[in-house]
């Protein structure tokens, strides 16, 4: 019998250096797109996929991220007594069930693979999802939900993938998959940040995974890979030939909120989706563009 995917790991222990100086005191995942922190988008996507247990791999300086999920009874009482029911609803939508969140520490930033491995005792011996909150995906059906449904048919390991321009492949983990118009494609190999011209395809790994617990054992055995970090991709690659490893071409639009330009792009796109902001933001964009030309 195939296990249900009940657990998700959010590796949020990175240094977030591309957002300095903000990340000197604010975790990257607390930065907001319009009015919701990145971590709220991540949690909502995981909940929509049927996930019940949420594991955060954190590090020094991330306490505001842990506090974010506490209930806020004083604020709630204030909003209720002022009749601000719409704001109260927004607040209560962030509440999580008692005991559904767990935090584990990564003592040193030794890479994504190492961060996931730090959660091994909380994951145990069942399949689990990994979701990187700085990859935000806008989709009619949330990306992880699409993957959990596809996982029900094939099991094994699954990585979200997306076509990128050939000159961009050296910034990603890249999958060796056939160039065919199928959502689910068997992975023959994968390489982390291949040098220009050496990528096996244009299909880049995006921050959503469903993994078997044997990947954790492989990470435990792994030597540091590209960039001296313990890479998740190397451990998943060692599963090829043993268990299914599939790339999943999700439906939706991905924003790279780990980069400044991607973050600004996502901010504009999400603001334009909001009926209360759309007109005002369109006006601001038109005005700003006109000023630039003048």
Q: What does DSSP assign to residue 194?
A: P
C-alpha span between 179 and 189 (Å, rounded): 14
Nearer to ligand UTP, 104 or 139 (CB): 104
Nearer to ligand UTP, 28 or 185 (CB): 28
32-33 and 7-11 strand pairing: unpaired
Nearer to ligand UTP, 185 or 192 (CB): 192
Nearer to ligand UTP, 142 or 258 (CB): 258
**Both tokens assigned to 90:** 């927004």
Nearer to ligand UTP, 76 or 104 (CB): 104
Smallest separation (angstroms) from ligand UTP to the CB of 35: 21
Smallest separation (angstroms) from ligand UTP to the CB of 118: 8
C-alpha span between 97 and 69 (Å, rounded): 10
Name 158's bridge partners: 210, 246
Judge residue 69's burial from the number of C-beta atoms within 10 Å of its C-beta, 0-12 exposed, 13-18 middle, 19 or more buried.
middle
Comparing every residue's Cβ against ligand UTP, the nearest one is: 14
Write out the residues near ligand UTP by the rule CB under 6 A. Answer: 11-18, 28, 57, 106, 109-112, 114-115, 132, 134, 258
Smallest separation (angstroms) from ligand UTP to the CB of 226: 12
Nearer to ligand UTP, 115 or 205 (CB): 115
Smallest separation (angstroms) from ligand UTP to the CB of 252: 19
C-alpha span between 144 and 151 (Å, rounded): 10
Smallest separation (angstroms) from ligand UTP to the CB of 164: 16
Going from the C-alpha of 2 to that of each of 30, 44, 48, the distances in angstroms are 35, 24, 20
Name 248's bridge partners: 160, 184
Smallest separation (angstroms) from ligand UTP to the CB of 201: 21
């Amino acid at each position: 019998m195939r296990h249900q995917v009940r657990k998700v790991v959010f590796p949020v222990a990175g240094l977030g250096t591309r957002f300095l100086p903000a990340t000197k005191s604010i975790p990257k995942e607390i930065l907001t797109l319009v009015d919701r922190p990145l971590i709220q988008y991540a949690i909502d996507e995981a909940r929509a996929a049927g996930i019940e247990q949420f594991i955060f791999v954190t590090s020094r300086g991330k306490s505001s991220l842990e506090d974010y999920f506490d209930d806020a009874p004083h604020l709630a009482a204030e909003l209720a007594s002022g009749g601000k029911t719409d704001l109260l609803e927004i607040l209560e939508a962030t509440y999580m069930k008692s005991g559904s969140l767990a935090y584990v520490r990564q003592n040193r930033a030794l890479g994504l693979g190492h961060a996931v491995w730090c959660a091994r005792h909380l994951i145990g011996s069942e399949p689990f999802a990994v979701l990187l909150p700085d990859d935000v995906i806008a989709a009619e059906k949330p990306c992880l939900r699409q993957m959990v449904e596809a996982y029900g048919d094939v099991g094994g390991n699954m990585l979200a993938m997306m076509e990128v321009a050939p000159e961009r492949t050296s910034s990603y983990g890249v999958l060796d998959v056939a160039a065919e118009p199928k959502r689910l494609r068997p992975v023959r190999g994968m390489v982390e940040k291949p040098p220009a011209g050496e990528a096996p395809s244009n299909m880049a790994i995006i921050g959503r995974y469903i993994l078997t617990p044997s990947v954790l054992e492989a990470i435990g055995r792994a030597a540091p890979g590209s960039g001296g970090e313990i890479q998740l991709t190397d451990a998943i690659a060692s599963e090829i030939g043993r268990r299914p490893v599939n790339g999943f071409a999700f439906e939706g639009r991905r924003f790279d909120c780990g980069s400044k330009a991607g973050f600004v792009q996502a901010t504009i796109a999400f603001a334009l989706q909001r009926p209360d902001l759309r007109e005002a933001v369109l006006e601001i964009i038109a005005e700003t563009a006109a000023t630039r030309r003048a």
